[in-house]
Amino acid sequence: MTEAKQLKTTALHSSHLTHDANMAEFGGYDMPLWYPSGTKAEHLAVISRAGLFDTSHMAVLTLEGRGAFELLQHSYTRDLLHCQGKSNTPLSEGSSVYGLFLRSDGTVLDDAIIGQLGAERYMIVVNSSMGAAVSAHLRELSEGGVTITDYTDELGKIDLQGPASARILHSLLSDPEQVLADMGYFTFKGDIFPGGSTALRLKDGTSVVLSRTGYTGEFGFELFAEKADILHLWDTLLGAGEPYGLLPCGLAARDSLRAGAMLPLSHQDIGDWLFGHTPWSFVLPWDQKGDGWTKTFIGGEQLLQGKRDYTYGFAGYDPRKITISSSSEVQDGHGTPIGIILTCTTDMAIGRVGEHIFSIATAISKGRPDSFQARGLSCGFVRVGRPCEPGEKVLLVEGKRKLTVEIRKNIRPDRTARAPMARMRNR
Amino acid sequence: MKEIDELNLPGDIYYSKEHEWAAKEGDIIRIGISDYAQDQLGDIVFVELPETGSSFERDEEFGTLESVKAVSEIYLPVSGEIVAVNSELEDAPELLNEDPYANWIVEVRPTDIDQYDELLSKDDYVAMLKG
């Protein structure tokens, strides 16, 4: 028997238990893996309608004071002067950006979404149980003048994800037109932190940060609120979503959705090794020539000089997976070991017709056959010691079990995360 | 997840430590997974079945079940030859979640019928689950 660990719980814990969620430990918290409707139904709901996730285990920090900008320029992989939109404009109030905190040896401490609350005021969202480590890292690099506060235990976070998300929110906002109309991908509204002046309140008075971000690859929002408001907010969203087929979703669906969307899980797909050639190279501040950085930052020099390996997405040919263990590996077509498996799950919304991958969300006009039925495909990430080309077949091996999978630039097609707001509000 | 007293565990069949069930039908034994197993796995999305005519020893892996999260081996509770597989599961693996008893996985012609009587009764199985 393993010793019972003292797990943390979110403000929604008793609600999860009341609703018969299958619970498990994740990141030091007792979290729902799935609800009675099951992982597959939850995954498909987010693709075709909407799903609601308790993500209160994520850590939320603020960084403020003179020197906050300089500290992030020094510690974060994104160049905050050149990170927004296609024209690489500076991060501005109400916008956020995804990047990494590296250690001085170029390994990944954690990934983070940083939102600008105001001049020299930022909110930083990092992974479960990482609030203390990232705070300590920033304090160590700070030259004073800034305040770093960990709000994780005072706040909660709920993700509303899926194409119906804006229509579900619409009924809860007193002025939906004003709030939603101009909300682009990676922008947010509201400020629930001390000193904030731009409150966003729902009709019922609940103060929230509403952010057009998420971890599913689909259109949607993350909502941050005071811990005391979270249960009410959850129930309100579930009620408003009922006519749209909104389902509460657990971490299993969150994992399969993010893998199909080519999003990394920190400490699994990126982590305690030199950040290599990955599908997420956009997080680095590449200069115009593409061989150096636009700024100096912690870990940057080590990335340029160290031996960086290669991380790729893959998709299989049916739902079969490989269990990741100390003996699982990736082999090339000749059976030579070339690396390890980082993530292997099943995206239940996709399937192949011949070699081509379709999603249940693919329009008929874009070639999805009328008779298409998604049986699900295994997918995830591998880390290998040599470059691979998209389309190359590799073997995932564990014991006597072998699966052929294809190296891919993209896994689940026709995702909606970046879809124009106007289209998603009127669908 | 279901509490042990919420599980559907018929009293007229036998169970294995690996959470398969076995039911004698004449000189054939039907094999499936228990309600506990399907509840723990969650949505089953793929079933890998053995070839009809293949033989396995007791406790040998004869196939796999896949949930979205994990791969689980299934073990034959009695030695024998596979005489039939439930190929309906290939197109509809979720049947194992819907009714794990009506939806058997394989039928076995046992080489030693005494092994059947060595399996766990419902009461023994419940006692094992309660640890």
Tens-digit pLDDT profile for residues A18-35? 999 999 999 999 999 999
Q: For all residues of chain B together, what is the average pLDDT? A: 96
Which of A40, A322, A401 is the closest to B68 by Cβ?
A40
Q: Which domain holds residue B12?
A: 4-130
CB A405 within 8 A of CB A376: no
Calculate how close chain B gets to A114, using CA atoms only, in Å: 30
Q: Does A187 touch chain B (CB under 8 A)?
A: no
Q: Does A345 touch chain B (CB under 8 A)?
A: yes
Q: What CATH class has A59-150?
A: alpha beta
CB A305 within 8 A of CB A378: no
CB A382 within 8 A of CB A329: no
Query: In chain B, what residues touch A22 (CB-CB under 8 Å)?
Result: 1, 42
- Residue A203 CA to residue A179 CA, distance in Å, equals 12
> Least CA distance to B45: which residue of chain A?
A319
Q: Cα A417 to the chain's mean position, in Å?
A: 11
Given a cut of 90, whether residue A240 has pLDDT beyond it is: yes
- Residue A316 CA to residue A261 CA, distance in Å, equals 15
For every residue of A156-179, DSSP letters joined together read EEEEEESTTHHHHHHTTBSSHHHH
- Residue B54 CA to residue B130 CA, distance in Å, equals 35
Interacting residues of A15 by C-beta distance below 8 A, sequence separation 6+: A231, A234, A235
Which of B45, B64, B94 is the closest to A346 by Cβ?
B45
- On the 0-12 / 13-18 / 19+ scale of CB atoms within 10 A, A228 is exposed
Answer yes or no: do A40 and B69 touch at CB < 8 A. no
Domain boundaries, chain A: 13-58+154-258, 59-150, 309-416
Nearest to B53 by CA among B45, B62, B61: B62
- Tell which A residues from 230 to 259 touch B, by Cβ distance under 8 Å: 252-253, 255-256
Which of A22, A318, A345 is the closest to B68 by Cβ?
A345
pLDDT class of A5 with cuts at 50, 70, 90 = low
Residue A4: predicted pLDDT: 54
Question: Among 3.40.50.150, 2.40.30.110, 3.90.1330.10, 3.20.20.140, what is the CATH number of A309-416?
Answer: 2.40.30.110
- Residue A331 CA to residue B79 CA, distance in Å, equals 34
Residue A195: predicted pLDDT: 85
> Least CA distance to B93: which residue of chain A?
A375
Lowest mean pLDDT among A12-16, A199-203, B66-70: B66-70
Domain total in chain B? 1
**Cα–Cα separations (whole angstroms), residue A114 to A111, A173, A188:** 10, 25, 11
- Residue A179 CA to residue A172 CA, distance in Å, equals 11
**Cα–Cα separations (whole angstroms), residue B40 to A147, A425, B64:** 45, 38, 15
Given a cut of 70, whether residue A1 has pLDDT beyond it is: no
Answer yes or no: do B68 and A320 touch at CB < 8 A. no
- Residue B45 sits in a domain whose CATH number is 2.40.50.100
pLDDT digits (tens, 9 = 90+) for B17-56: 999 999 999 999 999 999 999 999 999 999 999 999 999 9
Q: Average pLDDT for residues B97-121, to the nearest whole number?
A: 97
Answer yes or no: do B43 and A322 touch at CB < 8 A. no
- Tell which A residues from 10 to 29 touch B, by Cβ distance under 8 Å: 20, 22-23
Q: For all residues of chain A together, what is the average pLDDT? A: 96
Calculate how close chain B gets to A377, using CA atoms only, in Å: 10
Question: Among 3.30.1360.120, 3.40.50.720, 3.20.20.210, 1.20.1560.10, what is the CATH number of A13-58+154-258?
Answer: 3.30.1360.120
The complex's ipTM works out to: 0.86
